[in-house]
Structure 1
């Protein structure tokens, strides 16, 4: 049976806008309620102004009213896993706990790596660190 979240990440990857690097990335996440949201990387001629696929998927989730990520899949190019960048790891942490599964797949949907957010972002700082701080 096809994996809907992997299919969503691959479909998002196919729509990525990467005219400069030519490195297409798609990401899809599933909320705790089962909804799937996807995003793709969008480059900009002013390189620092681009956005990552994971950030796009998170924005789509928040726009739809979601607040908790149950799992995320990142579809990159090539034979090496496309792990989320440091900034995206922190963005994911805002909406997921350390044990949340993170899968990386290749352009055909072949699984390259399964890990957890904790392994990608050890000793993370998240919303629970601010509990009781008055923030």
Structure 2
């Protein structure tokens, strides 16, 4: 599974806002500052911010002194949650998410598909376990 560049940017945006949140939960950051700090083209950053707001991961403050902040605590936001917002086709192989796509016409009986499905489930469980507070507090 290869993550899209947009997903990488979304993870970096949430990480950036999580660090700010831990320092000062009331601080609001404008999109230009986020874009500059994380080296993300501003128009692309705005597109991602909109998706994260819609998913209720971050919140938007409108007006002259508007901007963005987390909508919940960093300990309540997982890597998986952010990844799921951006990645629509999350399967590591087409046969897992698209019934009838097996070129050998094995579908549910395919041992390879079943093995890949187990791997994918473990990957998703792992992504859900890792919270942004864990990342901030780690020494990766």
TM-score if structure 2 supplies the norm length? Answer: 0.30
Higher relative CO (Cα under 8 Å, sequence separation at least 6) belongs to 2
Structure whose CA Rg is larger: 2
TM-score if structure 1 supplies the norm length? Answer: 0.30
Q: Which has the higher helix share?
A: 2
Q: Which has the higher strand share?
A: 1
